[in-house]
Structure 1
Amino acid sequence: MSKALTIKKTSSEAVALPDVVPLSAPLLTAVTEALGLSRDIVADDEQIEHAWTQLPRLLRRIPPQLRDERIARMCIAVASGLFDAAINYVWNASVVELRDKVRRFGIAVVPQVLDDKDFDEDSLLDLKDAELLDLCRKLNLIGDDDFFFLDQCRATRNSFSVAHPAAGTVDEDEFLTFLSRCQKHALTSERNPRGVDTKGFLVALKGSGFKKEQREEWQRRIRETYDAQRELLFVMLHGLYCDPNAEETARQNALQICQALSDEFSPKVNAALVDRHQEYKAKGDDARLKASMQFFEKIGKLGLLGDADVHSVFTAASRKLLSVHNAWDNFHNEPPFADRLEQLARKNRVPASAQPTFVEAVVTCGTGNAYGVSRAAEPDYHRMVKAFSPAEIAIMLALPKGTTAVAGRIKTTKACEKRFRALVGLLDPKSVPTSAKAALQKWKP
């Protein structure tokens, strides 16, 4: 007696099939002769042998958990020379896996993507194969190339398998191609994105402030969803933060999510956020535009905006720092404003148009006044001076010749002159432009 057909699933996912051709050949001949039919109504022995020897290589590529009874029946069909039946079994296995992909994505989330409130498990089972492929593409469960090849397989199955009266026959090579495409584009173990329940997410955002574990869970879900939904979610979070009528708790929850994931924003996400920002500007929606500027600043993406927007942020922050510096109790009040400007400069390029205002603010506060300098803010001033670009260094070294407040202090107060020289000592000589070399020599400590 022959051995039973087995598909061995080991840790290496190896597949071992018995040599059935010597057994199937006489069996097929005997059956067809008994019915008075020609042997060529099924594949000949050479075709069966060729397909059978190629099966293990293709089966190894199918994850063990997907090698179910349909795949076993496919093997039996191949051993019998019934490639049209084998095609049907492979296709059925592919359809089952595609449905499972939709289930793993989240049937409850699908209506939010399709805008179809009635979609449920029964709707999934009622989908025609072509509709299922289209749904999987919309959910990003398969790509455009997957859709193209699987749609070809669907047409082949409909015309050349036992599922319908066949328009023709398929040979062993056509079957192997069919199996290879189904394996590669449907029967895979690649990551299956899960959809984010947008309604549930909004409810959570508008609830209490996120705890660490809660925030991390939503971040994980966003990371695991598909690209198109991720883009929509970030635009939604940006819009929520910019909404003047939104509760501050919801705004901060939205901001924290975006801050944690901003380094993972795709080019499409960045472009979508900038587009929304420009819409606020075009509509003259000053409240949302101001909030949008803050949003880009806080997530470290200010550089995505045009120079005019970045200029505005830097000059406003620089002037605010100078204003606080020149006010009462400045040594106590300066640190948070100095810290904000330092973070801005560290994360973004200072536009050339904003450099004079920026440099003047940093050097003025870093030089201090007759009473001293804000010790708590001084490290921020030092970091900014050390990071000055050649153009900013030239502006700094020209300040003593001007008519600004810091120029007057350097000229009239020895302590201020000494602190200015100390700031000059922080500059990298290699970054000093040739035109400022003489001034560097004059003011070096």
Structure 2
Amino acid sequence: METLILPSRFENIEKVDSLSKDWDLVKLAIRPDCRDEKSIEKAQKAIEVGLNDAAINYIWNLAIYDLYRKIISYGIEYFSSAINWEGKKLNTIEDLREVKDYQIISGTFSLGIIPHEAHFFLEQCREIRNNFSTAHFPMGELDKIETFNFIKNCIKYVLTYDLPAPGLQIKELIENLSSEKLEKGEEICAIIENQSSKIHGPILHNLFSNYIKPDCNAILKYNVKLIAPSLWNIVSEDVKSSIAVKFASLREVKGKDGANEALSFLKLVNGVSYIPESYKEVIFKKHAQFLIDAHYEWNNFYNEPNFAKELDALGYEIPIASLNTYLKAVLLSYLGNCYGVSKDAQEYNEKMLLNLTQTGIRGLFRLIDQNVDIVRILSSPGPVNRIKSLMDLIKEKTMLPEQQKIFDFITKSSSRDIQKYFEEKYWKLAKL
């Protein structure tokens, strides 16, 4: 694993023996422009009177707000695309309050705003905050060491870092592509490809959105036609699927013209195969996302069953464009988290898993082997035991050799060996 490069100010945190006595050192580890935030003062007072659950909530809220600032600095248009945001358009820092914390963490990680190590520990902090802070009725009390580690991680992975430099500005890119026809697309494609892979998807999303507008600049449209096929080849399957889903949404919401332009774009990039049958993917993906959102909420064990039931009621002919989201939702709910699993949701999860086709089984193993969120969960003992149960559930399914290899490893290895395997795999995936 690569060594995390921290600002020199963070060294102050290593000198802290007591949060209540050495709070000035804690503040010195934080970026200067954040040190006077009221949340820091409130956290100090909470610690002095033993209210650790309140202290971590103040620090968490400040860390999340600082991630908002970093998103604005980097480019909020990238963030919207990175999380496939379907709500009200995100323009300002206030708009980001509508975004869930897990999406803030996921989006900033996807864009490279926070490092791979931060993704793991901030997710851990989010779960602690949801279950042990004053934000919700706590599961228990936090001791001094746990409180210190929580605060240290929020500072280490967010509050000590400066705001990021702006990414390749989409606004400027669109303006340049609208001003003059390109003779060849190779040069601009090379510039985009040499950017972080984290922003390839947001750039293509934005070009697609401009392309389908009824008043799209003719020069821009010409240039998009020139470069879009190359960009399509470098983005992920999730990006391709999400653009196909927007085609269906346009058909239902904005009418034939928008849908026709979207279809034109998909033909241009050889992406017609991603168009869903009868637009079912919109429904499947929406219900699957509901289950994913429920899973990440603090009271997920209570909320998941109803969403799992609704997803199961849609049947088992899953459109290919929705399959990844569908499988991720079912797998997250089935595996649970380090605190347990939603037992009442398992009846529906098991039915959905038992009815997977060969394509579904391939996608399931791909998530287990390659999805950073699933792999992270499988670095905890409880989910590891449940992945063994999952293998028993699908043991009669037809598997390809590489899938059989994963199956054999999970069924024949000890829980500790499986956990260690996924711990190591997580760090490898997080750095990609």
TM range (shorter): 0.3 to 0.5
Q: Choose 1 or 2 for highest CA Rg.
A: 1
Report 1 or 2 for greater relative contact order, CA contacts < 8 Å, sequence distance ≥ 6.
2
> Could you tell me the TM-score, scaled by structure 2's length?
0.38
